[in-house]
Every structure is written in C-alpha cells, then in structure tokens.
Amino acid sequence: MQLIIQNLSKTYSNGVQALKDVSLTINKGMFGLLGPNGAGKSSLMRTIATLQEADSGSISLGNIDVLTQKEEVRKILGYLPQEFGVYPKIDAVTLLDHLAVLKGISNKGERKGLVEALLHKTNLWNARNKNLGGYSGGMKQRFGIAQALIANPKLIIVDEPTAGLDPAERNRFLNLLSEIGENTIVILSTHIVEDVKELCTDMAIINKGQVLYKGSPLDAIAEVEGKVWTKTIEKAELESYRQNFRIISERLIGGRPVISVLSHEQPEGGFTRTAADLEDVYFTHIFGNTQKEVAA
C-alpha cells in the first residue's frame, strides 16, 4: 500500500498559503517529514488525517480516495497529533477500552485482549491503573501511540512526537516507533533532525508549504558530502561572512561564532572541511539558498 499525494494546495481564510502544490509518494516504513515550525507540516498531516479540506489536489491510500472517502480512511488510520488531551482522572485501561468501543470493537473479550496487548507494547502495563493525569510527558506520548494503534491501522501519523521529552523518554518513544514502522506506513512529522536520522529510510524537507527535498537521508547527506566547511570567527566579522559566503548554520562555542559554509572548494584560509550530516542537509535547504555560494 502506498500513500500518494499529488499537487495538494491549501490556503486558509486569513490568506496564509499553508501548502503549495505538494506531491509525495510514501511507502510502507518510517517516513520523515522535516521542517521548521510553521512550514506546513501540521497542515499536511491534518489534511491526510481527514481533519481539514484541501483546496486542490488529491490524496490516495491504496484504493481509497482520502479527500472523499473520509470514513474509509478513518477505519485504517492511527493519529497522534502534536497536542492531544486525556481525561486526567481516568486510568489507561478504562480510556483505551472506551476508545476501542468508539473504533467499533464491540466484543468485550476482544477489547480486553487488545487493551492489554497495547499496554504491554507501549511499556505502560505497570502504570495501567494509574490516572492519566499523573503520567509523565513520555508516558502520555506512549499512551497516544497506544490509542493510535487501536484497530491495527495501515497508516499512522505522528506530529512532533518527541518535542519536550527528556532523552530517556525520547529513546523509548523512538524505539517504539521503529518497531511499529516495520509493517505500517508511519509518517513522522518533526523539526528535530535527529529523529529522522535515527529512524527513517525516506524523508522530505518542507518549508513555507513547499517540498524542498524528497529522498533517503543517506542520499541527502551524500549530496553535500565534502562541501561543508567550518570556521570560528569573531562576532564583528559575522555580517561580512553572511554577505560573502553561503552560510548554512551558525552556532556559538565559547562565546565565539562557528559558521558552516557550503562550498565545493575551501572558501578561504582558516576553513576546515567537516563530515556532512543530515543537519547540514536540512540547513542547506531551509536557509542555504538565501546565501551566496563560493564558486565551484
């Protein structure tokens, strides 16, 4: 089964064009959708999840027309939005059982076995009788995945799932997603480059509603390998370097700017070639096109 998005566009009533002619083909496995906040990722996710209409374009999931056959999509969809609410005074078992009823699982014994399996899968079994209001951020995210897995979905969408998690909870959550992605289409929408680097075999970079890159993380890194150069400079020099080089990232180390520049050759003395990573790819597409590139 494939998810095929063709020429999808969406403009909100305030005039903001959230999606501009987006086309993507997404296969089974983990697919990373990278972009800064406000890039259009959530708009795309909500449209795929049948929560908002598109202005134009099409989306198909196998033989299902996502834009017109919303009920059919919802039967095989698991969705974990960026922000989701839980009933704080209800335990995990009770709420999952209730959600399973809403998903159409009417047999009590079947629901009991499903709920138990989901709680084990998400490592929440020992906290199954604890009210959800007492869950940590990571536990709530894992509960979110548990509810998304009800009814064995063919497509799972997770929107910014690791934002705000501590490193240990983030690792638990990413391991869980990786396991799920072996047999399902899982779209991971995030602005955290490391999440995509660690999990996804295919990805896209989106900004201002447009797809800037589509391919595998390894291929993306290969495209900029050998072209990333770094140099520590003085703060007073920063604006001059911005004007004359294609800077893809800036950071402070010991109070001094360290810049990364994209260039086929050493830009000038003092620059050191560094191994490229997915963050360099990301910054190249998001910021690099506005800077001047040194000649090849």
State pLDDT tens for residues 163-193: 777 888 888 888 888 888 888 999 999 888 9
For the stretch 12-67, pLDDT in tens is: 999 999 999 999 999 999 999 999 888 999 999 999 999 999 999 999 999 999 99
Range 106-115 average pLDDT? 94
Beta carbons of 220 and 203 less than 8 angstroms apart? yes
**How far apart are alpha carbons 143 and 161 in whole angstroms?**
12
Instruction: Give me the domain span that covers residue 256.
Output: 222-290
Q: What is the CATH number of the domain that holds 109?
A: 3.40.50.300
Query: Is residue 291 over pLDDT 50?
Result: no
Q: Is residue 295 part of a domain?
A: no
Measure Cα distances from 89 to 250, 252, 292 in Å. Answer: 46, 45, 56
Report which residue type is found at 192. I
Residue after which a domain boundary falls, among 166, 183, 215: 215
Identify the domain boundary among 192, 215, 238: 215
User: Is the domain of 36 the same as that of 123?
Assistant: yes
Cα 202 from Cα 261, distance rounded (Å): 25
Question: How many structural domains comprise the chain?
Answer: 2
User: What number of CA atoms fall less than 13 Å from residue 189's CA on the CB side?
Assistant: 25
CB 131 within 8 A of CB 91: yes
With beta carbons less than 8 A apart as the criterion, state whether 228 and 276 touch: yes
Q: Based on the domain organization, do 257 and 276 belong to the same domain?
A: yes
- 74 in any annotated domain: yes
Q: What is the CA radius of gyration of the chain?
A: 22
Pair 100, 14 in one domain: yes
Crossing angle of helices 92-102 and 108-121, in 10° steps, is 120
Give the H or E element holding residue 225. Answer: none
**φ and ψ at residue 49, rounded to 5 degrees:** -80, 5
Whether 48 maps to a domain, the answer reads: yes
Is residue 172 domain-shared with residue 70, that is, in the same domain?
A: yes
- pTM comes to 0.85
* SS3 at position 63: coil
* C-beta separation of 278 from 221 below 8 A: yes
